[in-house]
Amino acid sequence: MLKAVLRGGAPVLLWRAALVAALLCGVGLLPWLSRTDPALTVLRARSAERAPTPEVLDAIRTQLGLDAGPLKLLGDWFGGLLHGDAGRSWISGAEVTPSVLQALGVSLLLMGGSLAVAVLTAGAVCARTLRLGAGRRPDGRRSAGTGSALLSALPDFLTASVLAAVVGVQLGWLPALGWYGPQWMVLPALSLGLPAGALLGRMLDDLLPGAFAEQWALAAAARGVPGRSIARQALRRCVPGLLPNFGLFVVGLTGGAVAVEQVFDIPGLGRLTLQAAVAQDLPVLQAGTLALVLLAAIAGGAARLTARLLIGPALRDGALLSLHRPTPPRPTTLPLLYGGLLLAVVALGLARDPLRLDTTARLQSPSWAHPFGTDGLGRDVLARVGHGALSTLALALAVSATALVLGVLLGLLPRVSGPLVDTVNAVPPVLAALLVTGVAGSGPSTPALAVTAVAWAPLAAHTSALLQQERATTHLTATRALGAGPLQLLRHELLPAVLPPVVRHALLRLPGVALALAALGFLGLGAQPPSPEWGLLLSENQPYAERAPWAVLAPAAALALLGAVAVTGGGGVRWPRRVSCARRRDSGDTGETGDAEAYANTEAEATWAEPPDPAHPIRPEGVTSDA
Amino acid sequence: MRFLPRRRRLVAGLLLAPLLTGCFASEGGEESSGGGGGSRLRVAMAFPPAENFNPYGADATLLSRLGVTEGLTRLDANGAATPALAESWSRENDRGWLFTLRDAAFQDGTEVTPKAVAAALTRAAGAEPVTAALSGVELTAEAAGERRVRVTTADPDPALPLRLSSPGLVVLSAEAYAEKGAVSPVGTATGPFELTKVTGTTAATLDRFDDYWGGRAQFSGVDARFIADGTARTNALRTGGVDVAEAVPVSQVTSLDEVTRRETATTRTTSLLLNTEKGAFKDPKARAAAREAINTSALAKGVYEGHADPGVGIYGPALTWAADKRVKPTGRAGAAAVDGTSVTVATYDNRPELPEVAQVLKQQLENAGFTVKLEVREYSRLESDALAGKFDAFVSARNTMLDTGDPVSILASDYTCKGSYNLALLCDRSVDKAVAEAEKVTDTAERQDAAMTAEAAILGTDAVVPLVHQRIITGVGAAVSGVQLDPYERGLVGVGTRR
């Protein structure tokens, strides 16, 4: 069992330790990498008004011992760490350990609540598939997943603002502010848990039909095993593929809930590390990052352990089946509908002026003159949504595609990427941006680099989880026995099985990428006002969410629509010829392999009905034996 | 390989529950302790303590707003020094002042003696980094007899009584300095409320100090919560979670009832500083063109929704004396015709209105023929570039009274060749001369006159275009009265605050 946690033994452990050390050193060198004077940023965190005279800056440098240089500071910090002392905050002079532990506790609790919400949401998203599967009616029309796609594209700060204003303030049902007891947890947990749950639910829903179509399920149904038990086993079959991503959410929600913490005034780790990163309060930043990295290692280990508990024997014996959908996801006209709607909005918006402001007509509700209303400066929201579409989408698509390639490539090497995924995922996004800026300078491509640097991690985790299962399938054993080489296996068996769900996952994360890109604006990276980039639209209109909801809802709806197009389009559009074109272009973007035959293979295996291949011997006992 | 049995999981959950409650924040003080009468006031403050309530940094203002600390003097509504811990004062000679103390006690029960005051001032003067009010001033203090303290400065300082009103020059009892390297205002100050408990950067509990020299406060204590997010702060007031919310952002004002809004003109001026050293605005004629292109009342109405006054000068209407003494700027250059001159305007997003101001400015300047590029960042990421003159113009919101309480000091630091915060990079001989003249004047009224003359000289260079004078909006629950609405943002809760 322990072996499962420490998969790979000493080299992997060493690699993990090296990564953590490198990260902490990177944090320790941050001001010197980015050439931003820590004395100045610390002064600003202490006092917004104080003139930065040389005397004041010198006094701060002496106080913090900055003149000794980064290496000495780092050495001292590591030395103190051995005695359990993480130093004192550069801003407040207070001890770091208690404040980080306190914030970590708060954040873990918030994360726990959010995950509970996420699990319920994911359950609701898959409920239909589970019910149909349990009733052995897999042919029943599956839901297109629009609802969950819309939900997963909801920015958490928007949900948080709306919940705080409506449920907390206007209805007064639940406290809108603070962190004093369980009832204070409900609203923040909802804002964080709903999108996360929708994403996990979509991924699960993607795998379930395959599990229901496996031989054991048919056999069990034929023998009269109740549908409920079959559904439970199907879940058990599919959940391991999601566990690594679940583990990533554990860490991401603990350290990255900044917006929600701000809206609800929760003293969590996200805000603490953000403030420390901006002020370059290195001891706090290092301790916060260390806490998150440790949490990531624990979460990753726990995810592997659980996967082993659930399908361990089957993995060991190579007795799994490839999770292929029994029927193609019915190509629908939905993506055309959503895509058309989005295009129409963009086209209408493009005909208008997104920059002309008129402060006498601010925050006007939707009318014929302004179909989506006006924003805080009296600009037409429709025009801004339309004009922002191109730049937002182009950049987000490029980043997502790069992240997909990176994720799949690194996902193929789980021993290398596993620890890397855990470490990268534990880095708060702002810190990642600062580190990337430090290394790459603050050019126009920096925000894209910074987001790509973290966006590949969930995709890699997903890839390697699916790959692990796929490697343990019976048909692979057979193919290997027939003399296929590793490369051939990869190209014709592994990738075709793994790629489609990962691509759909990447598409699902597209709106999130667009938001992440905009969130770096305050560091002077990325789009600057008055550009109508969607993420910027959301953040600049957030203060008016209650007075002029249309100004935030319009870009949020556009993002959600984009998510819906991606998800429903992932299942195919009604005309098959169209599908293959779209697919080829898609894979062309990712540059996965250069072989048309492989794509044909991908498509056939992923989207078309595939009767169990007689060449693949089937051993159903692997999964069902200890039911 | 099976799931954990359900019952075991349930038990584990129950065992974890008490552990988890430790992860909630503790409430900032229990409701109404009742003893001695009066209820407690709940306040939402905008700025959390940055340095553990170190009285020599920005937290000094926080302490003074909560009625914890005070100095020898304080500022009245007209910007003149009035008695606080010092009853009266007189100037002995060029460098020396004599302050007569009133009969007062520290919150730890000890008496406010000349020795204690001198020790406190000496500590403040030696703080590292030095407190803002004493920047560039060498100050010594010593006891002079039974009730008096002598304060001397190395250079003549006519504005010393104003300077001593700074929240950074507080008087604390000897106990505050007991621990080496840290100064603790907990239970050692002289104000009407005593700091008793600090919960990190989230909350603080204050109890009434019954022996306050100015009488007993109406509230038996104050529970302060620090809520940095403006919307969250306003929500706290709207849900009745607090009685008073500091600094309600303009975007949230309409969500409050008229009766709960208190509007105060502040000494904070938002202005456009033009780079006089390099770039397009090096040319005074281009600066004049920019000034003429800007419509300040559109900003006050459109961005600040009328909760600000259009810019009239460096000093706004909060300084009641300024309007009558204003001198018309002279020597302004004529505006040049502008044809597509491109300029970069920078600002920061720590104050949410500033990016909006910059976007309106962009349109106004572009209507006049400029081509404008905006640069918006977090303040600490922007400042060094701004001071190095990397932008053509900078939109900044600046408190014109600073910590010294002296109107001249902002002119010296922001607009003279040697100024430490000269964002316009202005170096003009006549400005320097006018500021130096003003610095020499002792009499308050004459000093104000001289400051206005210097202001006119600065405005004459068009290095700065005053945009708006901000008003601060304090949300006050309907039942509460007597909240101090201080244009200098140094007071909030006082003896007379009541329900």
Q: What is residue A248's predicted lDDT score, i.e. its pLDDT?
A: 87
Q: Cβ contact (<8 Å) for B377 and A524?
A: yes
| pLDDT at res. B35 | 45
Calculate mean pLDDT across residues B433-437.
93
pLDDT of A215 reads 82
Q: Contact B359/A357, CB-based, under 8 Å?
A: yes
Chain A residue at shortest CA distance from B348: A522
pLDDT band at B13 (very low <50, low <70, confident <90, very high): low
Exposed, middle or buried: residue A221 (CB in 10 Å: 0-12, 13-18, 19+)? middle
Q: Cβ–Cβ of A60/B129 closer than 8 Å? A: yes
Instruction: Please give the C-alpha separations between residue A434 and each of A295, A431, A525, in angstroms, as whole numbers.
Output: 22, 5, 10
Q: Is residue B362's pLDDT more than 90?
A: yes
CA distance B20 to chain A (A): 7
Nearest CA in chain B to A519: B377
**Any CB–CB contact under 8 A between B295 and chain A?**
no
Q: Is the pLDDT of residue A311 over 50?
A: yes
> What is residue B392's predicted lDDT score, i.e. its pLDDT?
95
Q: Of the candidates B25, B50, B420, which has its C-beta nearest A53's C-beta?
A: B420
Q: Report yes or no: B303 at the A interface, CB cutoff 8 Å.
A: yes
Q: Which residue has the higher pLDDT, A207 or B165?
A: B165
Let me know: does A124 contact A313? Beta carbons within 8 Å: no
- Nearest Cα of chain A lies from the Cα of B63 at a distance, in angstroms, of 14
Express each pLDDT in A424-462 by its tens digit: 888 888 888 888 888 887 777 888 999 999 999 999 999
Residue A328: its pLDDT value, please?
Answer: 56
Q: Return d(Cα A534, Cα A520) in angstroms, integer.
A: 13
Mean per-residue pLDDT, A177-205: 90
Exposure string of A32-45, with b = 16+ CB inside 10 Å and e = fewer, is ebbebbbbbbbbbb
On average, the pLDDT of chain B sits at 88
Q: Classify residue B245 as left (phi > 0), alpha (psi -120 to 50) or beta.
A: beta
Q: What is the pLDDT of residue B22?
A: 65
Closest CA to B142 of B180, B198, B97: B97
How many whole angstroms separate alpha carbon A473 and alpha carbon A477? 7
| Per-residue pLDDT tens over the stretch B301-353 | 989 999 999 999 999 898 888 888 898 988 888 888 888 899 999 999 888 88
C-alpha A214/C-alpha A618 separation (Å) is 9
Residues of B in contact with A168 (CB under 8 A): 235, 239
Asked if B227 and B361 count as a contact pair (C-beta separation under 8 A), the reply is no
| C-alpha–C-alpha distance, residues B110 and B116, integer Å | 10
pTM for the full model?
A: 0.84
**B53-76 average pLDDT score:** 91
Residue of B nearest to A524 (CA): B377
Yes or no, beta carbons of A359 and B383 under 8 Å apart: no
Taking CA atoms, B21 is separated from A102, A110, A267, B25, in Å, by 12, 12, 14, 9
What pLDDT was estimated at residue B82? Answer: 92
Q: What per-residue confidence (pLDDT) applies to A323?
A: 66
Across chain A, what does the average pLDDT equal?
81
> What pLDDT, on a 0 to 100 scale, did the predictor assign at position A404?
95
Contact present, A621 and A318 (Cβ < 8 Å): no
- List chain A residues with CB under 8 Å of B298: 359
Say if residue A117's pLDDT is above 70. yes
Counting residues of chain A whose pLDDT is more than 70, the rounded percentage is 86
Cβ separation A626–B230 shorter than 8 A: no
Rounded Cα gap, residues B441 and A383, in angstroms: 57
Residue of chain A with shortest Cα separation from B302 = A359
More confident: B444 or B7: B444
Q: Amino acid letter at A59?
A: A
pLDDT for A606 beyond 70: no
- B241 touches A at CB < 8 Å: yes
Q: Report pLDDT digits (tens) over A368-427.
A: 989 999 998 899 999 999 998 888 888 899 999 999 999 999 999 888 888 899 888 888
pLDDT (mean) for A592-620: 36
pLDDT value at A346 more than 70:
yes
d(CA A424, CA A457): 7
Supply the DSSP string of A500-548, one letter for each residue. Answer: HHHHHHHHHTHHHHHHHHHTTGGGT-S--TT---HHHHHHHHGGGTTT-
> What is the arithmetic mean of pLDDT over B27-44?
63
Percent of chain B exceeding pLDDT 70 equals 93
**CA of B499 to nearest chain A CA: how many angstroms apart?**
23
Give the tens place of pLDDT for each residue, A1-15. 455 445 557 888 899
Q: B366 CB near a chain A CB, below 8 Å? A: no
A113 has pLDDT over 70: yes
pLDDT tens per residue, range B208-262: 999 999 999 999 999 999 998 889 999 999 988 899 999 899 989 988 988 899 9
If pLDDT is split at 50, 70 and 90, which confidence band does A137 have? low
Beta bridge partners of B274: B393
- Report the share of chain A in percent with pLDDT over 90: 20
Contact criterion met (CB < 8 Å) for B298 and A359: yes
Q: Taking a C-beta distance cutoff of 8 angstroms, is the pair A522, B349 a contact?
A: yes
pLDDT band at B16 (very low <50, low <70, confident <90, very high): low
Predicted pLDDT at B6: 54
pLDDT 10s digits, A548-560: 888 988 988 888 8
Confidence of residue B99 (pLDDT cuts 50, 70, 90): very high
**Predicted confidence (pLDDT) per residue in A32-52, tens digit:** 888 888 888 888 888 877 888
- For residues B382, B385, B388 and B394, what is the CA-based torsion angle, rounded to 10 degrees? -50
pLDDT (tens digit per residue) in B168-221: 899 999 999 988 778 899 999 999 999 999 888 889 999 999 999 999 999 999
Per-residue pLDDT of A260-304, as tens digits, reads: 998 898 999 998 998 888 888 999 999 999 999 999 989 988 988
Sort residue B402 into left (φ over 0), alpha (ψ -120 to 50) or beta: left
- Please check whether residue B359 touches A, CB under 8 A: yes
Query: Three-class SS of residue B197?
Result: strand
Does A610 score more than 80 pLDDT? Answer: no
CB-based burial label for A80 (10 Å; 0-12, 13-18, 19+): middle
A69-78, A128-137, A334-343, B404-413: lowest mean pLDDT where? A128-137
